[in-house]
Amino acid sequence: MYIDIVSDLICPWCFIGKRRLDSVLATPAGAGVVPRWRPFQLYPRMPLEGMERGAFMTARFGEDGATRGTPSAILEEAKAVGIELRYDLVKRVPNTLNGHRLVDWIGPGPAQHALMDTLFRYYFLEGRDLGDLDTLADAAASVGADRGDALAMLRGDSGVGEVQALVQDAYESGVTGVPCFVLPTGYAIPGAQPPEVLVRVIERARELERAAG
């Protein structure tokens, strides 16, 4: 059974949501569930080369934006799932289109799921620029893909239209925030839900699938 996760690569709640989903996938409730990551862009008008983070924060929040701290709720929820967010290491906010192209190119399955973890770790724990094609190629190699093939794809325009269309589909479907978990029944669950909520909706999806034959 597929579970679609609409997500952006620079969304801390998406990283938190993935860790919570992982805890479910490691239990009998998650047996046979295959995560399928779908693209979303929180900042679709971001220049393709990204922006220096201080400038981005100032543009978004005003004069004190560059010194604005991370909300304590995010820090606490992240810490609860073993994530220490290191925004102090983040120098650039990327346009995530190419990162999403890479995720789509890898395709659903264990490698794609592992790639998402790598990309989240690169950005949130190491401050690496996810707009840099060599960084993305490194991420691809880390999950067993051929680095050269990944870099060649990223340097071209393969998948650009398809990923942009998927992002637009998410907007038109009413997704306004991520993560958003979409089950085979079409039922969507917004937010980084606790594991017990994910278990309940997965079990309900299985019941509906069995009822439908």
- In sequence order, the β-bridge partners of residue 105 are none
pLDDT tens digits along 174-212: 999 999 999 887 888 999 999 999 999 899 888 887 887
pLDDT at site 77: 97
pLDDT average, residue stretch 101-105: 98
Residue 42 CA, distance from chain mean position: 11
Instruction: Judge whether residue 66 has pLDDT over 90.
Output: no
Residue with the larger pLDDT of the pair 71 and 81? 81
pLDDT at site 213: 67
Distance of alpha carbon 93 from alpha carbon 102, whole angstroms: 18
Distance of alpha carbon 14 from alpha carbon 20, whole angstroms: 10
Distance of alpha carbon 92 from alpha carbon 131, whole angstroms: 9
Please provide the DSSP assignment of 160-190 as one string.
HHHHHHHHHHHHHTT--SS-EEE-TTS-EEE
pLDDT at site 23: 97
Q: Max alpha carbon distance in the chain (Å)?
A: 58
Instruction: Judge whether residue 166 has pLDDT over 90.
Output: yes
pLDDT tens digits along 9-52: 999 999 999 999 999 999 999 999 999 999 999 999 999 999 99
Distance of alpha carbon 12 from alpha carbon 75, whole angstroms: 9
pLDDT at site 204: 85
DSSP 3-state of 2: strand
Residue 114 CA, distance from chain mean position: 11
**Which CATH architecture best describes the domain 2-211?**
3-Layer(aba) Sandwich (3.40)
- Give me 100's structure tokens: 């999403």
DSSP 3-state of 190: strand
pLDDT average, residue stretch 158-171: 97
CA-closest candidate to residue 100, choices 87, 114, 126, 119? 119
pLDDT average, residue stretch 75-85: 97
Distance of alpha carbon 108 from alpha carbon 2, whole angstroms: 9
- The DSSP secondary-structure symbol of 179 reads -
CA-closest candidate to residue 13, choices 72, 71, 78? 78
pLDDT tens digits along 107-163: 999 999 999 999 999 999 999 999 999 999 999 999 999 999 999 999 999 999 999
Instruction: Judge whether residue 62 has pLDDT over 80.
Output: yes
